[in-house]
Structure 1
Amino acid sequence: MSLEKLQYLDYFNVSFNKLYGEIPSRGPFKNLSSQFFINNEALCGFSRFNVPPCPTSSTHRSNRKKLLLLFLLLGIALVFVPIAFLFLWIRYRRGKRAPQQADSLSMATTERISYYELLQATDLLSESNLIGSGSFGSVYKGILRSGTAIAVKVFNLQLEAAFKSFDTECEVLRSLRHRNLVKVITSCSNLDFKALVLEYMPNGSLDNYLYSHNYFLDIRQRLSIMIDVACALEYFHHGCSSPVIHCDIKPSNVLLDEDMVAHLSDFGISKLLGEDETDLYTKTLATFGYIALVKCDVYSYGIMLLETFTRRKPSDFEGDLNLKQWVSYSLPEAVMDVIDANLVTTTDIEHVL
């Protein structure tokens, strides 16, 4: 019937074809004669085309089939639509990963920042600009001449392991693209100085928010942050051409931007798995309390998830007791005894319910 809309159709001849179905009667077909449709025994329609009328019984049967199919689809929808909605919500939380990845991590950038410009931006790496320190170096806040705020991760070259950590981060970050990873602007390296120039995260780390008296994260913010980290790990393990194991998942390595979106950072002890490395068993320098021999990122994520909602560090426990066991012993009857007391308010309970 879509052929009826061809208002400029001047000539139409389908004779001697094994066509079937109803001949259109409106539009340009109003002026066509039967000679244009001869020897098509399965055609039907108006008598002026010298074809039999189209049967109505088949139409009714078709309508009944369509009605049954509609009810069947409605039944399926009642079951699967909630599941599909949940899946789409998770996909939405990932933030249209494909177009945004191109704007995220990239060591291949046209911007070059010299050693002297980094010194100037950080006021000669002054202590007043120090915003964090780790096993292999320190991180300073800096302001470029353009006014852009940056974070400069300077590696301590007095430590032999710092050289490997710098190389590892460069190798890992140059091949990763994801909105929940800290963006690398460029690197700066010479014989006496090695640094990564990173996107500045104005809200600091998850660790600061959990344990500082000046900040508070409600239950929705904590859940959103953990979903962001889960998206980054899903990309690490399944979205890369070569899977990546972060090896040091913990709150201090989860940084928050101005919109409180979480970004995973610090890839100094990460491991790139080749095609022949289907199992991981490695001794790392990961922080005590977050180490697991098998599937270490998944285990560490679980520990950090417990820490985020209980506000208890894995190192808070003595003897054989650990955070995982402490929570397990309290479930399900005493869950309110282990959850962060700051979350146990009428408002937050209503949000959970």
Structure 2
Amino acid sequence: MRRLSLSVNNFMGPIPTSIFNISSLEILSLAANQLLGNLPSNTGLWLPNLNTLYLGGNKLGGVIPDSISNASKLITLDLSENAFMELGISFNPLNGILPTTIGNLSASLENIYVDSCGIKGNIPSEIGNLSNLAFLRLQQNNLIGSIPSTVKVLGKLQILYLSNNRLQGSMPDDLCNFKNMGDLRLNRNELSGLIPECLGNITSLRYLYLDSNKLSSSIPTSLRNLKDILEINMSTNSLNGNLPLELGNLKVAILIDLSMNQFIGEIPSIITGLQNLVNLSLAYNRLQGPIPDSFGNMVSLKFLDLSHNNLSGVIPKSLETLSHLSYLNVSFNKLRGQIPIGGPFANFTIQSFMSNEALCGAPKFQVPPCHIGSPNHLRKKRVALVLYILLPIAFILLATTFVFLLTRSRKRNKTPANYDLLPTTTPPRITYQQLFQATNGFSKSNLLGMGSFGSVYKAILEDATILAIKVFNLEVEAAFKSFDIECEIMRSIRHRNLVKVISNCSNLDFKALEFEYMPNGSLEKWLYSYNYFLDMLQRLDIMIDVACALEYLHHAYSTSLVHCDLKPRNILLDKDMVAHVSDFGIAKLLDLGESVIHTKTIATFGYIAPGWIQVETPSLPIFYKRAPTLTINL
């Protein structure tokens, strides 16, 4: 028998298993009956010649057995209008298309597995008819076109695998309707454009794979909502901008791969708080700055790849504490200093450290040895230790003498060379809109620092001019007074060692001052950060610069100016490491002959001169103007 057609009858009950033992059958049609139950487990097992099977229009249910794939000559299969819950035909060389009739399958169908079947063409929009789907796997096929918008109807979908196809277009916002989605894999396609901001609304996500596409946006800040995400892979795209601080919210993540993109800026230290992270790859980007020393807090880390960036500074010694670290790659950066030797570094090779600027260490790393004295040179080390102690003392005495002589000579000179003339032309005003655009909406990525009365942002204008913008927090009561004080003071003083104010932007709801940008940051960073260092000559130059600025403030005009809060954080360094005094928010103007000022302004204890404060009550200290005394300790 080669053909058996029993369609459009009123047959009821299960299909006899013996009917699938007729090995000569080529066509079997049992459609449009009232057959029910599951398909026999031997369906297709003994039908080597079967090419057409019609079972549609019945009441069959359950799972379609894997044995149906043994019907190697099967061309036409109709299972529509039944109550099947699962369709699994993965790893069969079907080499066809997904028919539009897929939408006619049972509305109770929950799972579809069609992986690695050579399926071509588009994903039919009729797939949206399967509203009860929980699992949809179409990966490793040859699907083209875009993701159909009808997927938004699949509200119960928990797993969507469309990876390893040739899908194009953008990621539709319709994907954000998957409120129960736990595993979304769209990797290895040709998707382009932005990552939808609403993706962060799928708070049930555990796995997100978008790698190996053509996505070109920044990472949406809404991803901070994915607090239960375990794995996130966005590698091999064209994503750009700074690494978002929101990555620090992914507390339970075990894998983050952002390699092979175009990210810039420094590695945010907040990312090192991810103590459950096992795999982190930031390779092949344009990241700069140091490797955060706090990487040593990532106690679960096994895989760390920071290669092919522009990272500088030293390899943090804190990485020696990562006992689980089995793979490390910091090659092709600009790192310097000694390669650590403790902990996991005992197992690393030259492949982890190739092509850096000036690394040194053990011979096995094929780098020059570090200049560390041997035990045979104990006498030389003692001499060096004595010089190390005595030379700074000598330099401090010399610097104090130099500053004293410099101050006396400047007093005799009525027109010092360092006093810049006030500008004869009014600088162009910069609008709030220009500031908003130049700071990327006052983004956290452009935040340089925060103080008592506001925040300072880095701004890049349209003509590539870089400024520092001090935005006052008008919710703080004293901010208005601080703004007025700085405007009053900065409009009338000019000196090469004072931060230059460019302009201001002021209205009822917004007040900001625009200063020249100091690329080397504050003196505090250079004095107290592990990755920065000042030699003795640089320290002496900075002391002289600060002394010149104070001498100008105290003696250049008939009305003396007292800064009141001079500390390393308020001393900024330009590109040539020239020091500039900043932040005049609590400064005081003294009339001639004034000796005592009653004020509630309190500067930073630990830096204010101890002889200038006498506390008579808890709320009213008295500042005394005393003989000119300047002590600088660097």
Matched, 1:198 2:515: yes
**In 1, Cα distance between equivalents of 2:453 and 2:543:** 26
Pair 296,260 (structure 1): closer, same or farther in 2 beyond 3 Å? farther
Q: Secondary structure at the match of 1:160?
A: coil
Residue 90 of structure 2 corresponds to none
Alignment partner of 2:484: what SS?
helix
Instruction: Give the CA deviation at 1:200.
Output: 0.2
SS at match of 2:442: coil
User: Paired residue for 1:258, among 561, 575, 585?
Assistant: 575
Distance 1:100 1:227, change over 3 A: closer
* Percent identity over paired residues: 59
Aligned mates of 2:427, 2:534 — CA distance in 1: 37
Letter of the structure 2 residue corresponding to residue 214 of structure 1: N
CA–CA separation in structure 2 for the residues paired with 1:118 and 1:233:
31
8 Å CA contact 1:100–1:178 kept in 2: the answer is: yes
**Larger fraction in strand:** 2
| Counterpart residue number, 1:239 | 556
5+ residue gaps, structure 2 = 1-400, 614-623
Partner of 1:133: 450
Contact 1:107–1:187 (CA<8 Å) still a contact in 2? no
Task: Report the more deviating stretch, 255-264 or 233-242.
Answer: 233-242
The Cα shift of 1:226 comes to 0.9
Q: Provide the residue aligned with 1:268 in structure 2.
A: 585
What is the TM-score normalised by the length of structure 2?
Answer: 0.32
- 1:212 and 2:517 are equivalent in the alignment: no
Residues 206 and 298 of structure 1: CA distance in aligned 2, closer, same or farther (over 3 Å):
farther
Report the Cα distance in structure 2 between the residues aligned to 1:224 and 1:97, rounded to whole angstroms: 22
Decide whether aligned partners of structure 1 residues 148 and 297 sit closer, same or farther in structure 2, where only a CA change above 3 A counts: farther
1:144 aligned to 2:461?
A: yes
Q: Which of the residues 220, 224, 227 maps onto 2:541?
A: 224
In the TM superposition, what whole-angstrom CA distance separates every residue of 1:257-311 from its partner, at most 9, and x where no partner exists? Answer: 0111100000000011123524445442311222332348966x52xx23x2xxx
Question: Does the residue aligned with 1:182 lie in a helix, a strand or coil?
Answer: coil
Alpha-carbon spacing, 1:147–1:248, altered in 2? closer, same or farther (3 Å)? same
Of Structure 1 and Structure 2, the greater helix share is in 1
Aligned with 2:603 (options 286, 297, 302)? 286
Give the secondary-structure state (helix, strand or coil) at the position aligned to 2:496.
coil
Return the alpha-carbon distance in structure 1 between the equivalents of residues 425 and 449 of structure 2: 26
* Max Rg structure: 2
Equivalent of 2:434 in 95, 117, 121:
117
Amino acid of the residue matched to residue 223 of structure 1? L
What SS does the aligned partner of 2:543 have? helix
The residue type equivalent to 1:188 in the other structure is C
- Contact 1:245/1:297, CA 8 A, preserved across alignment: no
Local SS of the residue matching 1:164 = helix
Checking the alignment, whether the CA contact within 8 Å between 2:427 and 2:502 is kept in structure 1 is no
Alpha-carbon contact 2:468-2:517 (below 8 Å) kept: yes
1:156 CA drift (Å):
0.3
In structure 2, give the amino acid aligned to 1:222.
R
1:174 aligned partner = 491
CA apart distance, 1:218 = 0.7
Q: Distance in 2 between matches of 1:116 and 1:296?
A: 47
Change (3 A) 1:130 1:113: same
- Asked whether 1:102 is paired with 2:420, we answer yes
SS of equivalent residue, structure 1 residue 185:
strand
The answer to whether the 8 Å contact 2:499/2:516 transfers is yes
Distance 1:126 1:187, change over 3 A: same
Cα distance in 2, alignment partners of residues 98 and 109 from structure 1? 24
Aligned residues: 218
Which runs of structure 2 are paired with 1:1-12 in the superposition (5 Å)? none
1:20 counterpart residue number: none
Selected match of 1:160 from 462, 472, 477: 477
Report how far residue 255 of structure 1 moved.
0.2
Query: Which residue number corresponds to residue 251 of structure 2?
Result: none
Q: Is the 8 A contact 1:203 1:255 kept in 2?
A: yes
TM-score under structure 1 length normalisation: 0.56
Partner in structure 1 of residue 616 of structure 2: none
SS class of match (1:207) = helix
Runs of 5+ consecutive residues of structure 1 not aligned to the other structure: 1-82, 309-353
Paired amino acid for 1:118: L
Give the one of 189, 200, 216 matched to 2:506: 189
Greater length-normalized contact order (CA 8 Å, ≥ 6 residues apart): 1
Deviation at 1:162, TM superposition (A): 0.3
Shift of 1:235: 0.6
Maintained 8 Å contact 2:558/2:592: no
Distance 1:286 1:271, change over 3 A: same
Aligned to 1:36: none
| Mapped partners of 2:627, 2:578: distance in 1 | 20
User: How far apart are the structure 2 equivalents of 1:197 and 1:297?
Assistant: 35
- The alpha-carbon distance between structure 1 residues 173 and 202, as it changes in their structure 2 partners (threshold 3 A), is same
Whole-angstrom CA distance in 1 between matches of 2:475 and 2:534: 38
Distance change in 2, residues 1:297/1:145 (3 Å): farther
Give the equivalent residue in structure 1 for 2:24.
Answer: none
CA change 1:247–1:298 in 2 (3 A) is: farther
Please tell me whether the aligned partners of residues 180 and 231 of structure 1 are also in contact (alpha carbons under 8 angstroms).
yes
CA distance in 2, matches of 1:230, 1:282: 25
How far apart are residue 99 of structure 1 and its match? 5.7
Q: Report what 2:220 is aligned to.
A: none
Decide whether aligned partners of structure 1 residues 156 and 107 sit closer, same or farther in structure 2, where only a CA change above 3 A counts. Answer: farther
SS at match of 2:478: helix
Distance 1:249 1:236, change over 3 A: same
Change (3 A) 1:228 1:192: same
* Offset from partner CA, 1:315-335 (integer Å, 9 cap, x none): xxxxxxxxxxxxxxxxxxxxx
What one-letter code is carried by the residue in structure 2 that aligns with 1:116?
A: Q
The equivalent of 2:149 in structure 1 is none
